[in-house]
Amino acid sequence: MTSITIGVLALQGAFSEHLQLLQQASDLVANDYQDQQLQWHFIEVRKVEELDRCDGLILPGGESTTISLVAARSGILEPLREYVKVSRKPVWGTCAGLILLAESANRTKATGQELLGGLDVRVNRNHFGRQVESFEAELDLPFLKEVVGPDSGTDKQPFRSVFIRAPVVEKILEPQSGIQEAQSQLADTVVAPSKAATTTGPKVGEWPVEVMCRLPGRAKALRDREVTASEIGEEGDIVAVRQGNVFGTSFHPELTGDARIHAWWMKQVVQSVQ
Ligand code: GLN
């Protein structure tokens, strides 16, 4: 019997929705682990003792400034950093969670916000505007094939996602073991503090940043009818990235009821445990 514990940071934001979807996703992956009698535990994380029990961690959407301030006050900020950058356990950040996992973020300096870091990217907060400018879009996520299998017929179904004051990855940075020095010189920018590299961890650049999804110009054009897809360009905005143990999405998969990304990520956690 293997027991796997997944935590959701529960200081602020949409943590209970993640817990619900994790539960749903455990049914989706049940077949894959029939022989191993895998037992899942999903827990809310507010204290270091709870974090220590987790084989993987989700940082939910919400308000990244609030989450970082509450984390600092409750003494879990530094342990979270260790978890991501030294222990290198699987971590997934959605929306505000992605901001916290970035090595550099703009529009942050005045608020006293801190970043955990882990992803060598620069994020642009509130990229699509304010709350009232929230929108939904259908995304093509080829990696979901691993969850449903090519024969189920559902592998090509687009993933309906929700963007609420969402960030995008505006720049992929050169991986560095120290601080992102050049970024720290930029105006209104906060960078994550560096962490000493572990002897067992990958060397700098060994884990590149992978772009996992771009939001097609079409979706943005749907939201703002005055902009056409061709004006925006074919590439589109980067809304999902992975670098080694760290995964980040701009959008909120926990608000759609579609558990496929959770199922995919849970499989990554199983791999890392094994
Ligand atoms: N704009 C928010 C922030 O900066 C994130 C929004 C969200 O998580 N839905 O933290």
What is the DSSP secondary-structure string of 155-222?
Answer: TTSPEEEEESS--EEEEEPPP-SS--HHHHTSTTEEEPPP-PPPSSSPPTTTSPPEEEEEE-HHHHHH
Q: Which of 17, 18, 54, 95 is catalytic?
A: 95
Task: Please report, in tens digits, the pLDDT of each residue of the chain (274 residues total).
Answer: 889 999 999 999 999 999 999 999 999 998 888 888 899 999 999 999 999 999 999 999 999 999 999 999 999 999 999 999 999 999 999 999 999 999 999 877 667 789 999 999 999 998 888 888 888 888 888 888 877 655 555 556 788 888 999 999 999 998 877 788 888 888 888 899 876 655 555 666 678 999 998 887 655 656 665 554 445 555 788 999 999 999 999 999 988 889 999 999 999 999 999 8
Q: Ligand 1: which of 64, 116, 239, 249 to mutate, judged by most atoms within 8 Å of the beta carbon?
A: 64
Which of 64, 101, 107 is CA-nearest to residue 83?
101
Q: What share of the chain is helix, strand, coil (3-state, %, to 5)?
A: 35, 25, 40
In angstroms, the Cα distances linking 181 to 102, 113, 192, 196, 239 are: 14, 18, 10, 15, 24
- Predicted pLDDT of residue 203: 62
How many helices, marked H, and strands, marked E, lie in the chain? 10, 13
Q: Give the position, in ligand 1's atom list, of the atom nearest the Cα of 94.
A: 8
Taking the CA atoms of 86, 83, 106 and 170 in sequence, report the sign of the dihedral they define. Answer: positive
- Quick: pLDDT tens for 88-98: 999 999 999 99
Tracing tokens 């029990």 back to the chain, one arrives at 53
Residue type, 25: A
Give the DSSP H/E element, type plus range, for residue 150: none
Please state the pTM of the whole predicted model.
Answer: 0.91
Residue bearing the CA closest to ligand 1, atom 5: 96
Pocket of ligand 1, beta carbon within 6 A:
61-64, 95-96, 99, 125-126, 164-165
